[in-house]
Amino acid sequence: MRRIKVLNEDVVRHIAAGEVVEHPASVVKELVENALDAEASRIVVEVAHRGSWTIRVSDNGWGMSEEDAPWALERHATSKIASLEDLRRVRTLGFRGEALPSIAAVSTLELVTRTPRAPHGTRVLVRGGRRQAVEPVGCAPGTTVTVTDLFFNVPVRAKHLSGDKAEVARITAVVTALALANPQVAFRLSHEGRRLLETPGNGELLDAVISLYGRDTAEQLLPVEECDEPFRVRGLIGRMALARSDRSHQYFFVNNRPVRSRTLRTGLEQAYATSLPRGKYPWAVLFVECTPELVDVNVHPAKQRVRFTAEARVRELVRRAVERALTGARTGWEIPKSAVETPGVAEKPVPYLPAPSVSAKGEGAHIADLEPLWDIAGESDVLSRLRPLGQLARRYIVCEGPDGLYLVDQHAAHERIHFEQLQGDPAVQELLMPVVVEPGPEQLALWESHRVALERAGFRAEQFGPTALALRSVPSALGNAEPRDAFLQLLSRLREAGPARTGAGEWELVQRALAACVAAVKSSQPLSMEEMRRLISSLAATPRPWTCPHGRPTVLKLPQQRIDRYFHRS
Amino acid sequence: MRGFTPLMQQYQRIKEAHPDKIVLFRLGDFYEMFYEDAEIAARELEITLTSREIGKGRRVPMAGIPCQAADGYIARLAGRGYRLAICEQVEDPSRARGLVRREVVRIITPGTVTDDRLLQGGKNNFLVAVTESEGHFGLAATDISTGDFWTSQLGGRGRLESLKEELARLEPAECLLDPRLEGRGDLTAYLETELRVSLTRGEDWIFEPERASRLLKEYFGVTTLRGFGIEDLPAAAAAAGALLEYIRDTQKRDLRHLRRLRLHQPSDYLIVDRTSRINLELFRRLVDGEKEGTLLWALDATITALGRRLLSRWLSSPLLDVPTINARLDGVGELLQQTLVRSSVRDALKRVRDLERIAGKIGYGSANARDLLALKESLDAVPQVAQAIAACRSPLLRELAERLDALPSVRQLIHRAIVDDPPATLREGGIIRSSFSTEVSELRELRGRGQEWIAAFEAEERSRTGIKSLKVGYNRVLGYYIEVTRPNLHLVPPHYQRKQTLANAERFVTEELKNWEAKVLGAEERLQELEYEIFCQVREEVASELDKLQETARALAELDVLAGFAELAASHGYCRPEVDDGPVIDIRDGRHPVLERLLPSGSFVPNDCYLDEEDHRILLITGPNMGGKSTYMRQVALIVLMAQLGSWVPASRARIGVVERIFTRVGARDDLVGGQSTFMMEMSEVANILHNACPRSLVLLDEIGRGTSTYDGMSIAWAVVQHLHDRMPGVKVMFATHYRELTSLEEQLKGVKNYSVAVKEQKGDITFLYRVVRGGADASYGIQVAKLAGLPEEVLQRALQLLQKLEEEARPSARRYQAAPMVQLRLFPDHVHPLVEELRKLDVLRMTPLEALSKLHELVERSRKES
């Protein structure tokens, strides 16, 4: 008996909203929703982009019979609703009967499906809306849909796609939402063979969150549960520490369908109102449940916007629930362990950190990073306009700048300044008396292999005992620093920097290490206003003042507007 | 030997005692090798071959390696399979009178390597000993890098086979063989050629059971071996004792990490014979011997080397005891459910290094400062693990939690004594923290002060002599010196003693300088000695906790494997098998654990399997080749194996009645090269199965009867099935065959059931459905498969014609097979041997003893003549 039937005209007119497949993410969403409707317990999503997008979604759900399979790709045919009445009572996610055929119209789509008891499965191949094959095939029970050559016949749409990374980020967000809504399903998402996310599918929302966000995030979550018949809300919300500057970590579900709803958002944010500064949004995964008649899912073609029959009541419910959860916990700022950074002399060279992405408009990657309060400064000629105000912790120079507050890292600045100065051969200061150093067997060997470069840098030493060295000169830049310590420090940094290189690479290594040492010497000293000014202008004079030679930022900026915002001035 | 120098005579004596080894003879700062040894070394190590005078004007080849750098060279030679004898000077050369005494202090053989470079992290390196006593074989095995030590005794009729199986299972690097076993069957050939084991022929007296038992008792400090379970097992004790003797002899020291001996009864474990181990691709791929794509690969989600080795051992000995299996399954289940616990445990395990091997080095006495630090870091992770599983409820996990000991005192000791970043060497200082020993800190200070004085001395002398360019320097030959350039020589004071003349300068020393030098160098030397002493003490203290250390290591390894199983179960959707002692194997929606991962998701077709000991004892599987018959059979065996390992299995439900032995006849690697034809190999393996399968065995037969003509093959296959059915109760069989005629066996034999791999035919093309369904195959589809393979169209057409013709003609014969009753057929015509006839005629009760004896004699004579 065929379960998939073509919808009658009436219904079609009512719901046809020009279904449009916009991105690979929409394809993924539709296919995964179909899999969920089929009551799968395991859904595997694989995506790749080689020229055009390839998407493969495989599930172990009910599958389609041999009869039904070809009709799955006919427009306006669905097993899920048959009449307007059904529309009102709809519970399943995919009811428009539009998705598969829409996708098949702009790609090569292969559907392989089998019901559990059937002896074999069916394979249907459609390309650009034209059916190419229908044949029996041996396969596992469930359904696998493979979409290749997406948008091959609508090159305009293909061109309008964002780059790989952005699309993958969108896909990830889609799958994350569906995985959160369905913790009883084990999800796996991979991109070109690399596993992006995986959930255990054991029914526990918390376990799903742990596998998506990590243990650290999970430790900052609070459970939510509240009821106002016939509405019910439950889920998890995050403490203040998880708050971000966008809403990318807010997931709302109505009857398990991912939605966007201003009502729900407002309810959530109102509960946090007094605790969160403007511009910061809480982490939340919230589920609202009610009988299907009370909510309209048909509002938007992408089926994301919903309307409730009692908007205010729902909003209140959410607000109350979240508030209760929050007051149960300690409010106020919490500093999560993982986010505590100890600035200052870093132990290892760190690759250059890119500035926080400006594009975080609700579609970033899902792994959370604490968004910094400060920006890394990088606009030219600001440096010369900085006016030092004072020194903080003998490490940072606090300055007033043209458009906000600036912090200059003494150590990083010194490193950059001295690195540039050391470009030539540094000045050497002879020691009145040789200083004896016991570097230990390994550092000794290191000295031997870098001896020439070290001499050029200003450290001249010779063997002075079976395991000792006599230091005869040091770089002038070190000033009054203790020669022995400086020398040992330099050797230490050289060792950390990795295996010895020869030639130009070696010299640069030594230079950087030396610059770091000099900076270390100078950075923990108190400075007078004059010295501060001089330091800043020396920094401004260097060709690349915004980073130290290892790539770390030298200057941080807190824009005036942000300060205003935090103080709730507009 | 006369006329040789005393040194060479000494060498000869030592070499004669070790003719089969390369002797490294200590001479000064080098290990020298002579004669052939030198030639081998020169070739293998790419060092220079020189020569040395040995008296009478004769010269012999010589090659040497510096002692300082010897380890690397030694490792290379050992890695190439050479045996080495390290011969050291055992007395202080400065105090010796005449020739310095030399002795072999260490022997290195393939089974006794401990160098990290030669050992593989994930595998044990086994040394075994084999002996025979009172009709039983004794087999002992040890890995001296970890301290594992087992022994077994094998008796009964098939004991030679069992011995071979156990040897194959262990894959030892070296075997110490009782010389009396030299001619035993093909044992030596088997060891050397097939298993590629390095054979050491031992002295027969080390295998003497009495002696061996005494040695064991003395070593372990016990009065009876009952505690080890081998009091009444002389062969097992003999093998273990001989092994111990050999170790002592080659290592010249006691291995303190070898602390316990366990009895391993092969009959306690599921036995997978070596052919099956290969055919099922448990450890190595058939195609190229690689690890990827094997069951081991599929089951390995371990994080530590300890875990990997344990998994390998578990896989080679799956369990039979239902309660133990269930304990493991429960543990895995709890780790699966508690995602947080599992991820904490696995996180912590990342910090655990190879504790077993480090413990081995400590017990051996070769651990260095870095090893101790690695030990501390590993132990630092233990509290996190213990805390994670503290709340677990399953008995096995609770037991493991108890066995974990973070050894805080050891950690503290190492932390306090050893610097954060010690060198790899032990005698060059730089190891011990100044805060740990006042003597060390004082010596360092003394040295420092001395150095400072000497440095200040330069400034002083400059001002005193007025020589502005005066320098104080140091080199190995002169020690500290004062250097004055030529133009200033006239200013040199009289008490300066000239030591060296250079082109533009001269170097001097003074009394004062030399005194201070003595202080500095003295302090340095004493410091190095002292640090070494202290380090050894620290190591000693750590060694006293070896027991607990090894116990903790073992518990961590088990946790690693179990957590790995849980991880796999979560990732791949496994279920918990119900394991019991019953007769039924019932698998629903079973999948092949390896293949399902290698194929794209959703492609692998799951299948059920039902086997019992009554009506479903023998599954006859027909259908076209490439249809999935072999995969189906293999997956059943692998699922059974996994269940008996304590792992969850790839199925929606599984009930596994414990299997004691698995046999396979799969014909994938027929030994054409070895001179045995396909058919011969096949028949040998089938014979082996028919002789050795016992109740609770699982037998997989894939295409029996292929290597000979159709009628012969089919008849043999038929007879084999019949035999298995009638004469071998309790044996479960899966038999894949292309002889469709065999399907009629279902009607005749109660326990036989037909299954086939489903195929869909459409317009002359076939699609493999990979589903196993009830009932025999309709057709062979050989031609359609050939079409898929690309055979030319005309060939296919002609084949089709011929097939149709043959089928018409052959149809009656199928019925003939059905009708033929089970008649006792003899291979040869009815013929009674004359001797038998004679025997029948004898009336023994009426014969006198003399008559009987002479008749017997006559008959024996005649029978001899006949052959």
Long-range contacts of A163-167 (CB under 8 A, 24+ apart): A164/A49, A166/A363, A167/A23, A167/A24, A167/A25, A167/A49, A167/A53
3-class secondary-structure state, position B149: strand
What's the token pair of residue B327? 């304990």
Taking a C-beta distance cutoff of 8 angstroms, is the pair B785, B779 a contact?
A: no
Distance CA B795, CA B783 (A): 10
- pLDDT tens for each residue of B618-641: 999 998 877 889 999 999 999 999
Q: Which of B474, B603, B767 is the closest to A140 by Cβ?
A: B603
Question: Measured between alpha carbons, how far is B630 from B700 in angstroms, rounded to an integer?
Answer: 9
Angle between helices B322-337 and B339-349 (to 10 degrees): 100
Mutate which of B471, B769, B774 to disrupt the A interface (most A C-beta within 10 Å)?
A: B769
Q: Is the peptide bond before A282 cis (omega within 30 degrees of 0)?
A: no
- Residue among A164, A63, A79 nearest A122 (CA): A63
Please report which residue ranges of B355-437 form alpha helices under DSSP H.
355-364, 369-389, 395-403, 408-417
The chain A residue lying nearest B456, using CA atoms, is A433
Task: From chain A, pick out residues whose CB is under 8 angstroms from the CB of B768.
Answer: 138
- Cβ under 8 Å to B: A residues 37-56: 41-42, 44, 46, 56
Indicate the SS3 state at residue B334.
helix
Q: How far apart are CA B113 and CA B516, in angstroms?
A: 46
Longest dimension (CA), chain A: 102
* Collapsed DSSP state (helix, strand, coil) of residue B473: strand
Q: Taking the complete model, does pTM exceed 0.95, yes or no?
A: no
Domains of chain A: 9-161 (3.30.565.10), 220-328 (3.30.230.10), 354-570 (3.30.1540.20)
Distance spanning both ends of chain A, measured CA to CA: 65
Cα–Cα–Cα angle for B249, B253, B257, nearest 5°? Answer: 115
Q: How far apart are CA B14 and CA B103, in angstroms?
A: 8
Which of A59, A210, A438 faces B339 most closely, judged by CB atoms? A210
Could you tell me if B126 and B142 are in contact, meaning their C-beta atoms sit under 8 angstroms apart?
yes
CB contact under 8 A, B605 and A112: no
SS3 content of chain B, % helix, strand, coil (to 5): 50, 20, 30
Q: Do B570 and A186 touch (CB under 8 A)?
A: yes
Please count the residues of chain B.
Answer: 867
CA distance readout (Å), A35 to A43, B91, B496: 7, 80, 96
| A438 and chain B in contact, CB less than 8 A | yes
Please give the pLDDT value at position A82.
58
Angle of helix B355-364 relative to helix B511-543, nearest 10 degrees, comes to: 120
| Cβ pair B371, B361 in contact under 8 A | yes
List, edge to edge, every strand of the sheet that includes B505-509.
B471-475, B479-485, B505-509, B497-501
Is some CB atom of chain B closer than 8 A to the CB atom of A214?
Answer: no
CA distance A444 to chain B (A): 11
Whole-angstrom distance, CA of residue A110 vs CA of residue A127? 9
**Complex ipTM tops 0.90:** no
H/E run at residue B664: strand B661-665
B610 strand-pairing partners: B586
Q: In whole angstroms, what separates CA A42 from the centre of its chain? A: 25
Q: What is the rounded CA–CA span in Å between residue A110 and residue A264?
A: 38
Burial B131-148 (b: 16+ CB within 10 A, else e): bbbeebbbbbbbbbbbbb
Of all residues in chain B, the one with the smallest CA distance to A464 is B474
Contact B451 A186 (CB under 8 A): no
Q: List phi, psi (to 5°) of B826.
A: -105, 145
Give dist(CA A217, CA A57) in Å, integer. Answer: 29
Confirm or reject contact between A402 and chain B (CB < 8 A). Answer: no
Q: Is B196 left (phi over 0), alpha (psi -120 to 50) or beta?
A: left
Q: According to the model, what pLDDT value does residue A337 have?
A: 34
- Residue A456 corresponds to which tokens in the numbers above? 């050029």
Please indicate whether, in this complex, the C-beta atoms of A438 and B601 are within 8 angstroms of each other. no
Write down the residue that tokens 């961590």 correspond to. Answer: B556
CA distances, B554 to each of B228, B320, B557 (Å): 19, 21, 5
Q: Which of B336, B573, B760 sits opposite A42 (nearest CB)?
A: B573
Chain B contact present for A167, CB below 8 A: no
Q: Is the Cβ–Cβ distance between A552 and A416 less than 8 Å?
A: no
Return the residue in B384, B451, B521 with the most chain A beta carbons within 10 A, the one to mutate for interface testing. Answer: B451
CA distance B92 to B332: 59
Q: Which amino acid is at A166?
A: A
pLDDT at B785: 74
Instruction: Note whether B428 contacts A198, CB cutoff 8 Å.
Output: no
Reading the block at residue B824, the tokens are 């006792």
Of A204, A434, A466, the CB nearest to B455: A434
B194 has a pLDDT exceeding 70: yes
Question: Is the CB of residue A199 less than 8 Å from the CB of residue A179?
Answer: yes
Q: Which two tokens stand for residue B221?
A: 């400090």
Residues B845-861 pLDDT 10s: 777 777 778 888 887 88
Distance in angstroms (rounded) separating the CA atoms of residues A258 and A385:
50
Contact A210 B771 (CB under 8 A): no
Nearest CA in chain A to B605: A140
The amino acid present at A156, given as its one-letter code, is V
The predicted model gives B315-329 an average pLDDT of: 95
Q: Chain B within 8 Å of A440 (Cβ-Cβ)? A: yes
Strand-pairing partners, residue A45, are: A57, A189
Q: How far does the CA of residue B538 sit from the closest CA of chain A (Å)?
A: 21
Our CA-based measurement puts residue B145 at a distance from the nearest CA of chain A, in whole angstroms, of 28
Residue B89, classified by CB atoms within 10 Å of its CB into exposed (0-12), middle (13-18) or buried (19+), is: middle
Compare all CA atoms of chain A with the CA of B604 and give the residue at the minimum distance. A140
Task: Note whether A200 contacts B570, CB cutoff 8 Å.
Answer: yes
- Does the distance separating the beta carbons of A139 and B602 come in below 8 Å? yes
Do residues A306 and A299 touch, judged by C-beta distance below 8 A? yes
- Of B727-731, B735-739, B786-790, least confident by mean pLDDT is B786-790
The closest CB to that of A463, out of B339, B474, B760, belongs to B474
Distances (CA, A) of B628 to A113, A127, A139: 20, 31, 12
- Provide the token pair at A230: 């016939």
Report the chain B residue with the minimal C-alpha distance to residue A185: B573
Under an 8 A CB cutoff, do A200 and B760 touch? no
The dihedral built from the CA positions of residue B474, B478, B481 and B487, taken in this order, carries a sign that is negative
Task: Give A465's contacts in chain B (Cβ within 8 Å).
Answer: 451, 474, 480, 520-521, 524
Q: Name the residue with higher pLDDT: B492 or A380.
A: B492
Residue A390 · residue A398 · CB < 8 Å: yes
Which pLDDT tens digits describe chain A residue by residue (570 residues)? 566 666 555 455 444 433 567 788 889 988 998 899 899 999 999 999 888 899 999 999 999 888 888 887 776 556 665 555 555 444 444 444 567 888 888 889 999 999 988 888 999 999 887 888 899 998 899 999 999 998 888 777 788 787 888 889 889 988 999 999 999 999 999 998 888 888 988 888 888 888 888 877 887 888 888 888 888 899 998 887 788 777 878 899 888 888 888 888 888 888 887 667 777 788 899 999 888 777 776 655 555 677 777 888 888 888 888 888 887 654 333 333 333 333 333 333 333 333 233 333 333 332 233 345 677 666 667 788 888 898 888 888 899 988 888 888 888 888 888 887 776 677 788 887 788 888 777 778 788 878 888 888 888 888 887 778 888 888 887 777 778 888 888 887 777 766 655 566 677 777 777 777 777 767 667 788 888 888 888 888 887 788 777 777 888 888 887 788 777 765
Residue B810, CA atoms < 13 Å, CB-side half-sphere: 12
Q: How far is CA A167 from CA A363, B118, B169, in A?
A: 10, 48, 51
DSSP A58: E
CA distance B168 to B154: 15
Instruction: List, in sequence order, every residue forming a beta bridge with A260; answer none if it has no partner.
Output: A305
Cα A162-A163-A168 angle, rounded to 5 deg: 95
How far apart CA B569 and CA B594 sit, in angstroms, is: 13
Cα atoms in the Cβ-side hemisphere of radius 13 Å centred on A33: 25
Residue B799 · residue B633 · CB < 8 Å: no
182-201 of A, contacting B, C-beta below 8 A: 186, 188, 198, 200
Q: Over the stretch B222-253, which tens digit does the pLDDT of each residue have?
A: 888 888 888 889 999 999 999 999 998 888 88
Residues with Cβ within 8 Å of residue B851, at least 6 apart in sequence: none
| Model pLDDT, residue A244 | 79
Q: Chain B contacts of A144, Cβ < 8 Å?
A: 601-603
DSSP A353: P
Q: Find the helix or strand (DSSP H, E) in which B733 lies.
A: strand B731-736
Interface contact A505, partner B, CB < 8 A: no
What whole-number distance in Å separates Cα of residue B748 and Cα of residue B821?
9
DSSP state of B675: T
Are the beta carbons of B592 and B670 closer than 8 angstroms? no
